[in-house]
Amino acid sequence: MKVLLAGGGTGGHVYPAIAIANKIKEHNPDCEILFVGTKNGIESEIVPKAGFELKTVTVQGFKRKIDLDNIKRVFKLCKGLEQSRRIVKKYKPDIVIGTGGYVSGPVLFNAAMNKRVTIVHEQNSFPGVTNKILSKVATKVLTSFEDSHKRFPEASQDKLVLTGNPVRKEILNSRKFIARKNLGISEDKKMVLCYGGSGGSEEINDAMRLVIENMVKEDVAFIFATGKVYYDEFIETIKDIELKPYQRVMPYLDNMADGLAASDIVIGSAGAISLAEITALGKPSIIIPKAYTAENHQEYNAKSIESQGAGIAILEKDLTPQSLNEAVFKLLGDKELLIDMANNAKKIGKPEAIDLIYNEIMKSYNEAVGSKKKNKKQKEQSEVKEENVEQQTAQEPKVIGIKKK
């Protein structure tokens, strides 16, 4: 079995692809796996480190305005389509999986035109334009938010399957008691985890100073990851606040598994993978979607969580030190609300997502293989039937008529 995965640009597209590749390899050790991405995307570093081969193509997204740069991007798209066609033709994959990013478009389109099994995985509540188009030609579309289904074309509705986003094993296996022991936080303490995505968020950082000041006063345990770029500047703003050992400000949180497991509340942005991890562990959350993301997908993700009673959404334009402080202490002071939110988060969360994704991929593959075998058998039976008819015709005695004079 040969599998081709296309996804790139951000970690939100690449990490799900790697998780899927690892799952396929786990169950099919002899299968061949190839990734397709771009030279400039995060995939150029992450994929080889994960132990997989990466082929690159030239492709770039379009701007909303018409200018010379957009014309150049049209030529890049044409080049990317041709490069993708060659890769698909040469590699001859049995399954092609797209996890988003501009690179998914040309690769999956070529695969679909070559009648390969094509699977789209959409991470967000608001599907990207590329995935909406691909959904019309793909074999199956795997989604992560139930409310995303209404945003896909009508013609694609019967292909949609809700599977969720894959979550790292170390997070799924983490336990609150052990995590708190590892972090030196007692069981009786209330604990808040805050991070603004892998790079941090200046808006969240600006709002967190007041929250930290009040959490120190109330003796609340917390871990706050500022992002490496913002760390020195933020530390300077809280130098007059005396932190206890269980109150930590750091540039980046390496041990996300313990941080999430130990927390009572999580404050963060609305990246799809982050939300998958938060809900898989059933954590109440305060979600602050980053503005100006593609199709504003983070806002849709955040509102989806809020509408299902699993968290509070605060838009960046509404975020102030006071609004964030009010939300944090509202949750910390209401035990019943925290329990309700935790239960609702668990209902949304899909810790079994990677298994569901793998099963749907293999189901589509096996159906395609079965269909090919059936067609081959029918063709063979038809050929045998034709051969028998020809033999029977040849063996029949010729009737010689007597011509009357």
Q: How far apart are CA 102 and CA 38, in angstroms?
A: 9
Tokens of 162: 């809700």
Place of tokens 């396929």: 24
Q: Which residue intervals of 296-401 are DSSP H helices?
A: 297-307, 321-332, 335-348, 353-395
At 62 the pLDDT is 45
Q: What is the number of domains present in the chain?
A: 2
Domain assignment present for 385? no
**Sign of the four-CA dihedral 138, 139, 142, 143:** positive
Q: Among residues of the chain, what percentage have pLDDT more than 90?
A: 76
178 and 127 housed in the same domain: no
Whole domain around residue 108: which residue ranges?
A: 2-167+353-372
Identify which of 65-74, 127-136, 243-252, 393-402 has the greatest average pLDDT: 243-252
- Looking at the structure, do residues 176 and 318 belong to the same domain, yes or no? yes
Domain membership of residue 49 (yes or no) is: yes
Looking up residue 145, the CATH number of its domain turns out to be: 3.40.50.2000
Q: What's the confidence (pLDDT) of residue 323?
A: 98
Distance CA 222, CA 4 (A): 42
Over residues 316-341, the pLDDT tens digits come to: 999 999 999 999 999 999 999 999 99
C-alpha dist (Å) from residue 5 to 86, 105, 232 = 15, 12, 39
CB 251 within 8 Å of CB 224: no
Looking at 165-241, list the stretches that DSSP marks H as alpha helix, in order from N- to C-terminal side: 169-172, 176-183, 202-217, 231-237
**Quick one: 142 and 196 in the same domain?**
no
Output the six-digit token pair for 332. 């910390």
The answer to whether position 392 is within a domain reads no
pTM: 0.82
Residues 82 and 105 in one domain: yes
Task: For 220-272, write each residue's pLDDT tens digit.
Answer: 999 999 999 999 999 999 999 999 999 999 999 989 999 999 999 999 999 99
pLDDT value, residue 80: 73
* Same domain (yes/no): 73, 206: no
pLDDT tens-digit series, residues 361-375? 999 999 998 877 666
In DSSP terms, 4 is beta-bridged to: 34, 96
Is residue 85 pLDDT above 70, yes or no? yes
- Report CA-CA distances (Å) from 284 to 156, 208, 251, 335, 344: 33, 18, 23, 11, 8
C-alpha to C-alpha distances, 54 to 4, 14, 44, 84, nearest whole angstrom? 10, 12, 7, 13
Q: pLDDT tens for residues 115-139?
A: 999 999 999 999 988 899 999 999 9
| pLDDT, averaged across the chain | 90
% pLDDT > 70, the chain? 87
Say if residue 11 is in the same domain as residue 80.
yes
Same domain, 275 and 299: yes
Same domain, 114 and 214: no
Could you give the CA distance from residue 357 to residue 19 in angstroms, rounded to a whole number? 10
Q: Tell whether 138 and 218 lie within a shared domain.
A: no
